[in-house]
Each structure stands twice: as structure tokens, then as C-alpha cells.
Chain A
Amino acid sequence: MNAVKQSESGQPGQPAASMAGGIEHARVSREVKPALPRFRNEIGKYRIHRSSDCVNCGRCAEICPRGVHTRPGSYRLLMRPLDYRCIGTDCAKTDHYCVKACPKGALSISLNRTFETLGDYRWTPDLLISNWIMAETGEAPGPHLESEVGASGGGFDRLRLRFPETIPSDLRREDISTSLLLNRRDDSRPKLAIDVPWYGGGMSFGSTNINMLLGKARAAKAWNTFSCTGEGGYPDRFIPYADHMITQVATGLFGVREETIQRAPIVEFKYAQGAKPGLGGHLLGDKNTPAVAAMREAVVGTSLFSPFPFHSVYSVEDHKKHLDWIAHVNPRALLSAKVSTPADVDMVAVGIYYAGGHIVHMDGSYGGTGAAPNVAKKNIAMPIEYAINRVHKFLVDEGIREKVTLMASGGVRNPYDAAKAIALGADGVVIGTAELVSAGCNRCGNCESGRGCARGIATTDPELLKMVDVEWCTQRLINMHHAWREILIGLLHRLGLDSVAALRGRTDLLTHLDYEDA
């Protein structure tokens, strides 16, 4: 609530002065600060109508604790209500319900018609707006939103955590650890650990706005976690955050050089990605600007293909050769392999471990931050919820579960999904879409249309690039990480667990609404 109060004077659409500079500093703090929406009219669940009966008495502005009604400084008239902050008719139970308090009866609340058209089965309007609130305030969204599950009718959306009736009385929230160890092998490489059980997925320079990528990197640094280059190369502007940047080696090998490998604490091999499993990547010629082409060592304006799969990997032995090559070039790096979820995903995971991998990263098909054929997104490879538990169990049966870190991605929308994925058997999760949504993505799906993203997120258009400010984006993500962690700690506390590591594989703490014992 504090965060909202602080922002009372600010208006959405006008970045506060402190954020306008755009100066990159390698030092970033994880302090939550309000990061207001970019547009004049942020979309919320409700709309408030103030009729012409209003006499500008200011009563509503006095009582509203959420900053919906404001009258800054010496203004005589009230500002237009910031109705996206309104919690709706739930407020009627409180003593600060503006509709009732208005002496002239000039206020009314209705459901926002635009709200109803937002999102889809996975990212429902409630989930999108919940994310935006977390990114703005760093706090959990209110109970007026269904911020836990979507409406897909299966998987995470039908799984629920099962909370015990009593928890250890000496368990304090502040003692709960959300740290995640990434290197579980007994080798000479660093025992890297991150402070939250998630890191940012790969988005390539060329597909995504550099300002967004920098925001991701800076937030990762603030929260001692990671972001990933994607396969578009390693712009010099990432160097200040090198300790929190994963270098991705994908099939196009764009921008993969000795120095970018040597700089990285983790090197990720992207075999496949969940949104287009078994298909290659494709950067349209329009997006291949001079800067992108230079980074990828390619010709400006040509379409760039990132073929599927690695043309040098025909077997698990070839995969080992790949990992050995990187291990030799950078003796400090942890090795990760990102794969999709085929029927034999369990064998693939074991193969990654025996070839020397530290991290097995499985990517399911509900994620993906770029454009992909609809037919692939919908139909190819199994949902991540199944894959997590199958792989976890297989690794346990093989006796190597404690030697490898299992990361899941592709459809992890919020901290509840993260907790469920971990309970199913993952060590942690990788997020991508949630980060984009924090920066204002509304999942319209037009990443590839015309000049690109209307939010300036998935674009290289010079004019649209300016729509995202690095500082603003950083703060939105820092706030999101904070809110997620607070929610996760709340869940762990209610589960009676003292660390997120203790949740791993605890399927006994889950229930599925479609099963008889639920």
C-alpha cells in the first residue's frame, strides 16, 4: 500500500524525472519504487464514471487509499479517476467506498469493457492485470483479481497447493530461503547460487528492444539472478552485467565468439524452444537493421535463419563434444542445455547430465516470446506440467537427481505456477513472457506485424525502440521479482517449509481438481 501512496502525485504516461535520464549504471538496487504505467489510460478491471453532478468537493480524493481519485497541489478540479487502481465493488465493505461517500451520487463503478477483451485462456485478463500491478507497486495484487490461475482447464490451472493445517510455530518468514543452487556437480566450477528460484529466459538482440534486454539484465543483477542473451549476440552494453548474463549458443551461432563464451558464468545451448519445437528460428529481414546485422555478422535486411537443430549434433556423443568445447574455452562456466518436451524428454535430460551439463532446462509450449507458427505452438510437444514430473522421477530413479539442476519454462506466469512447477519436481523456473507483460505487453500477438510490437518491446524500429525506457523497465522488473518472492515466501510459510529447495518434488503438497481425491 505504501508504494501506491508514494505515487499519488505521479500520473501514468509521464515517467517520473528520476527515470527519464536513461543513464546506465552497473549498480542497481533491489529496492521497490513505484514504476507507473507508460500510457495515460492504464487498463484495469473496473471503470469509474464521474457524472456532471460532481461539484469537485474532493471527498473521494480524501478517502481513497489507492490513489484512484486525485487532486494534485493547487488544482481546483479533480483529475480524471485512475480507475485501473480501483478494486471495484469489494470496496463497498470498507469505510472508503467513494460511490457511497460522494455527497452528490456522481460516481459509479462498472466492469471495464476493454478488460473483458484482454488476454486468452492462459493469460486471463486477471493474470495480465495482476502482473501489471506487481510491476508497478512491487506488491501482491488485491483479492479483486484472480491472480493465481488462468482458465486453460488443465495443468497448472487445475493444480492447487495443499496447505497443512498446522505449521511449525517457530517458522519465521524472514528465515525462509528462496536461494537456488545451480551447480550440483562435484566439479571445480563455481557453486553458483541465485537469490530467487527463477531467472530470465533468452530474448535475442534483434527480436527484442535493447532497452528491454538491458532492463532484464539490470533487474537480474539487482536480484542476483540471471538474464540470457538469446541467440542474437552479445551487445557491449551487456558487459557491465556480465556476471548475470547467460550466453546462449543456438543453432545459428550468431554472435558466438570466444570472448562472449569466456565472459559468461553460464553458457546455455539452445537445442529447441517450446514455442516452435523442432522448428528453426527466423528473424525477418525487416528486423535485421544495421546494428542487428553487425552483431550477428550478417548482411543487413536479409532474413536470418536459425536452423533446427544443431547440424553438428547427431547423437548424445556429439552433444558431449559440444559441451566439452565450451568447458574448455571457459573453465568457469556452468553448462546448460535448453530442450523442448518430446515424448522421450526424460532420456534427453539424462543425456544432458552425462554429457557434462549442470542445468537441464525444459521449455514447454505455452511460453515463447517471439513469433511462431500457430500450428507448432498448439500441437507440437507435450505440456510442461507433464514433462517436469516425468523428468524429475526419471532422474531420481537413475540416481542422479541430486547432481543436476532442473529448470522449467514455457507457461510459468506467476509465483504460484513457479511453486507448482517446483512441487512437481523442478528446482526452479525460467520466465520470459511474465517479464514482457511487466513491461506492458498485452499479448496481442502481433510481434511480427509491420513495424513490430506496438508496445516497443519486440521491435527494432528506431521510433518504437524509444517507447521503452531502460530505467523504467528495470524498476518494473525489480518490483515484479520482489512481489513474486514475497508471494512465494508466503506460500512456503503456509506450507511449513523453510526453503524453496524443500518444496522440490513434494507432489504430496499438490492436488488436482480433476482427480477424485481432490
Chain B
Amino acid sequence: MPEKFHIHTAPVPPRHRPVGKLGIVDWREDCSNCHNCVKRSCVYGLFRDEADALREEVGYLDYIYQCKGCLSCIQNCTKGILNRVVNPEFKRLGDGHYTPDIILSTWFQAETGRIPVSGAGYGGPFSGPGFDAIWTDMSEIVRPTRDGIHGREYINTGVCIGRRLQRLSFEGARLTTVSPPVLESPMPVMFDVIPEQFRRGVIPQSITRAAADIGLPAVVPASLLNDDYPASGSIVPWINNAAEADRFPEARMAMISDGPDVLAARDAMKQKSPDRVISVRMEASPDAAVRIIQLVGEGVEVIHLVFTNHGLEHAASNPRHMRHVLREVHCALVKSRQRDEVTLTASGGIAAAEHVTKALLCGADAVAVDIPLLLALECRYCGECARREQCPIEMEKVDGNYATQRVKNLMGAWHQQLLEMMGAMGIREARRLRGEVGRCMFFEDLERDTFGRIFGRRKQQAGVL
């Protein structure tokens, strides 16, 4: 058995009091001070244990974060005066895409490195926008590719970034084909550029170090790289012109923005370092597919599509979700018989582990993450930094080791979840997830084939995209 890819996780407690979801409040008047709530009722001993003991155990003290909302104290209160409330601070976290629940779940994964587990079935909406309208498949019986919990050992989450050869050519018995350069990533995940407002303290370096430890490519604007933030093998410098590439002889991949001169710049770089993979970065837009076909026809080996923070294309009106754009681009490439000639990576709005799997199923070869890496550092996504206000949790002061390990923990948990989903699908290679819509189910298709058959046409406004 080949050496197994493993992300080493270790618990890293938060620096600040985390924002919890549920809390207990009372009306102090009428309390009989019987202390039943604090001494007897709490099954988890949250109140019973002295504050110091709690501090020792987890390094911080906060009832609201730890309250599991079981209602025991409320229902046993002698006077019936306790109430459970949803923490208003929790409701204010994040936005419609990076929801409070996603943020809390990301914090948990970054703290523990574990998969979020809960009891009592799924309590969420039936379906939803974007990736929430996709279900992945599973299979009832053993296939040679999978063998339950032990079969996970054999699942390979690695992907290659670069051009794939269509055929080999020979002269007599001699191989004449020169293999194009390829970058291997142990997960179909890259780290994308950290938005400017988050480039504080040691955050960018620490996140890059986590990428290097795991072996994931990390995109960094070339202008940031200097002696204090040196380029390493895992860094993908995002350069402005071909000449700038010379500063990074060790970089195995470089990124350049799409533009009128992009092909000339690519050619210039390739001439100097033929073994470097060149990725062309472009905004996802309604004409993306046409442009990509054109670029791939000109031999571009990697396309990096950037979506908005909410996973939407950049369009003046009715922007489509990433899943529609990726499907369109993927299918266009398949139709023009160029799909294997290019690696398609996508970033923007990848908020949870399941989004990685689903973006691949829709046609990407890999995704790049940005915001979740900052959520891992306890960011509340409050937007203060974008308004040039002070960060309420002083992210500029984070310790490098803390930041690196939190990010590794998050990726460790995501990797485990990727394995869970692939195991259930019976897919043993992440490479084979790409565009494999046969292993997933779309809301629209299921509705049409089931309820559409019975009830006719679905109302327009009720359609979920």
C-alpha cells in the first residue's frame, strides 16, 4: 500500500470568546435561589463545574458557546422563570451565504479538526439555492472500489493540475512525446488569494505555511512576496507580466490574469521555464465559456475561474450560480473535445466541504478557497475590516502556529468529509468526480421526473436556482 495522505490535526482552542447559538436567560425577579438549575439539572455539568476547572479544560469560559440547548435547566427550574434564547450576536454573524451555522461549524472544525456530527436527522430546508439543490448518490452494495469504513483507506483524493496528454507518439520504439508539466495536489483544493483587508500580521504567511504542510498550492499576489514572505514550492505567484515570473524560479505554477496580451505573456514564460504550469485567471461571466474554448484552443493548460464571494458569476443582471457556469464550461469543453487539455479550477463562495465535492461534480477539477481560511481564524465575517475599522478580535495579533494549525484542522475535517461523500458514491479517485453528474441528483430533475409527472408545471417563482 502506498503511503497514505493524512492531515495531522491537533486541537487549537479559540483566542476569543466564541459566539454561541443558544443561551439561557432568566428574569432575576422571582428566582428562589434554589440553585437547582446550576447544581442538579445541567446534564453536561456546565454550571456545576467551577469556572477554573472549565478554563483548564478548554482554555476559556463561556456558557453560551458551550450550552447545548438541552432545556434541562429550563424545564426543571423550580419557579419556571428560565428561558432559552437564540444569541442575537449569533444571528448577526456572517451573511446569507456564509451563514451563522456555517461559521460556527467552521470554527468547530478549525478548533478540533473533526467532522461535525449531530443526532436526530437532518433539520434543514428541503432544498435551497446553488449547491443545496444537489444531492450526491450512494450505492447499496459493495463495489470493488469501496469497502465501507476500511475502503476509505484506498480512496485517493489527489488531483493533477496541468495539461493531460491525449496520446503518446513514438518513433520506432522510442517515445518522442515530451510530457507537459503537471502539479499534483493531494486534495482537489487550493488556497486562493487572501482578500486585501485580511492581510494583517502573520495571517498570509501562516496560511501559506499550512498549505505547504499539507501540500496544497496557494495563490499569492507576486507583489506580496519578499524576503519576509518568501516564495516556496507550494506558492503560486500571481504575476502581472512575464518578466515578473523570473523572480520566482522555484514556483512550479504561476498565475496570470486574462487579458489581450495573456497568450504572449504565457509564451514568454514558457520559453524561459517550460516546466512551469501557467494558469490563466479570469472572472466567471456569461461569456466565460466562449473565452475558455478560445484560450484552450491556444494551448492554455489551466483556467482559474473566479466567482463572487457568494459563488455567483460576475454579471450585471441575474448572475448564475457557480454550478450552472461550471456545467456550461465543462460541457462546452467536452463538446469541443478539449476537456482533458485543460484543468479547470474555481474559486469564490466555496464555504463548506460539500461544496468541494459538488463543484467537482459540476465540472471543476479543483476549487480554491479563501474566506473559510479566515473563518478558521475565528473571523466573524463582520466586515469591519473592509470598512477600515478595527477588527473586534484583533486578527492582526494572531500567532503563526495557531493560525497554521487551525487552517490545517479545517482542511483535515474537509478531507474527511470528502472521503465520506466519495465513499458513499463509490468513487475511488477525486479525478473521477469531475463532471460525474451520473453520481449526483439535481433538484430540478427530481422534481420534474417525480412531481412534474403528477402535478404538471412548476410555478415559475417557486423555482430554486
Q: B-contacting residues of A (Cβ < 8 Å)?
A: 13, 39-43, 80, 112-114, 116-117, 119-123, 152-155, 157-158, 251, 271-272, 274-275, 277-280, 305, 307-311, 313-316, 318-319, 339-340, 342-343, 348, 365-383, 385-386, 389-390, 410-411, 433, 436, 441-451, 453-455, 458, 464, 507, 510-512, 514-518
Contacts and interface: CB of A to CB of B under 8 A. Distances in A.
A454 B142 contact: no
10 contacts: A119-B123, A153-B126, A310-B141, A314-B141, A370-B119, A371-B119, A374-B118, A444-B71, A510-B455, A515-B459
B459 to A, nearest CB: 6
B142 to A, nearest CB: 5
Contacts of B70: 442, 444, 446, 454-455
B120 A368 contact: yes
B137 A308 contact: no
A212 to B, nearest CB: 14
A374 B421 CA distance: 11
Interface string B427-458: 00000000000110100001001111011111
Measured as residues with beta carbon below 8 angstroms from the partner, the interface class of chain B is: 35 or more
Given A41-B80, A343-B137, A433 B121 contact: yes
Interface in B58-79: 68-72, 74-79
Nearest to A512: B455
B128 to A, nearest CB: 8
Contacts of A80: 79-80
Q: What secondary structure prevails in chain A residues at the interface with B?
A: loop
A114 B84 contact: yes
Contacts of A373: 115-117, 417, 420
A316 to B, nearest CB: 8
Given A158-B126, A454-B43, 15 more contacts: A112-B83, A114-B85, A153-B125, A271-B141, A275-B121, A278-B424, A308-B148, A309-B148, A340-B138, A343-B441, A371-B118, A380-B137, A448-B117, A510-B455, A516-B459
Contacts of A318: 141
Contacts, number: 272
Nearest to A443: B120
A233 to B, nearest CB: 20
Contacts of B138: 272, 277-278, 340, 342, 380-381
Given A41-B80, A375-B417, A380 B424 contact: yes
Q: What secondary structure prevails in chain B residues at the interface with A?
A: mixed
Contacts of B43: 450-451, 454, 464
A133 B62 CA distance: 35
Given A122-B122, A390-B450, A512-B451, A40 B117 contact: no
B142 A114 contact: no
A159 to B, nearest CB: 8
B124 interface: yes
Contacts of B425: 278
Nearest to A313: B141
A433 B105 CA distance: 24
A382 B445 CA distance: 11
B141 A442 contact: no
Nearest to B418: A375
Contacts of A410: 121
A197 B303 CA distance: 56
A382 B119 CA distance: 19
Contacts of B105: 374
B174 interface: no
Nearest to B119: A447
Nearest to B417: A375
A444 B420 contact: no
A447 B143 CA distance: 32
Contacts of A367: 121
Given A154-B126, A516-B456, A279 B424 contact: yes
Contacts of B69: 117, 444
Contacts of A119: 123
Contacts of A274: 121
Contact of A454 (B44, B122, B136): B44
A380 B75 contact: no
Contacts of A375: 115-116, 352-354, 417, 420-421
